[in-house]
Structure 1
Amino acid sequence: KTVAKDDLTLEGSPEQIQKTLVDMYKAEYAKEWGRFVQGVTVT
């Protein structure tokens, strides 16, 4: 059985899980925001 590094059940503490989720959210948000800004500046 292979285990993904980002498997939240293996992180342990709720604090660690929340931190991981927040980091993922921030990264995704920044990526989408950058794409949005690029779309605005092009048009």
Structure 2
Amino acid sequence: MTSVDYSKMDLFGVTVLYLVIVTSLCCCQCKIMRCQLKINLNSCK
């Protein structure tokens, strides 16, 4: 393998890792928002 192939694989790995982190962060945000919405709805009753 040439160094170019290695850098391509490296870039691909970093991109995948970044996407996974962003996706998990978005999921966490959605869950937190849902929880807050439920709490707000309950307190409204």
TM-score by length of 2: 0.66
Max Rg structure: 2
Q: Runs of 4 or more off by more than 3 Å in structure 1?
A: none
Find the counterpart in structure 2 of residue 3 from structure 1.
none
Q: How many residues align?
A: 32
What letter matches 1:38 in structure 2? Answer: C
- Percent sequence identity is 6
2:14 is aligned with 1:25: yes
| 1:7-26 equivalence runs, <5 A | 12-26=1-15
Greater share of residues in helix: 2
In the alignment, the residues of structure 2 paired with residue 40 and residue 13 of structure 1 have an alpha-carbon distance, to the nearest angstrom, of: 41
Cα displacement (A) at 1:14: 1.0
Query: Structure 1: 5+ residue runs without aligned partners?
Result: 1-11
**Structure having greater relative contact order (Cα 8 Å, sep ≥ 6):** 1
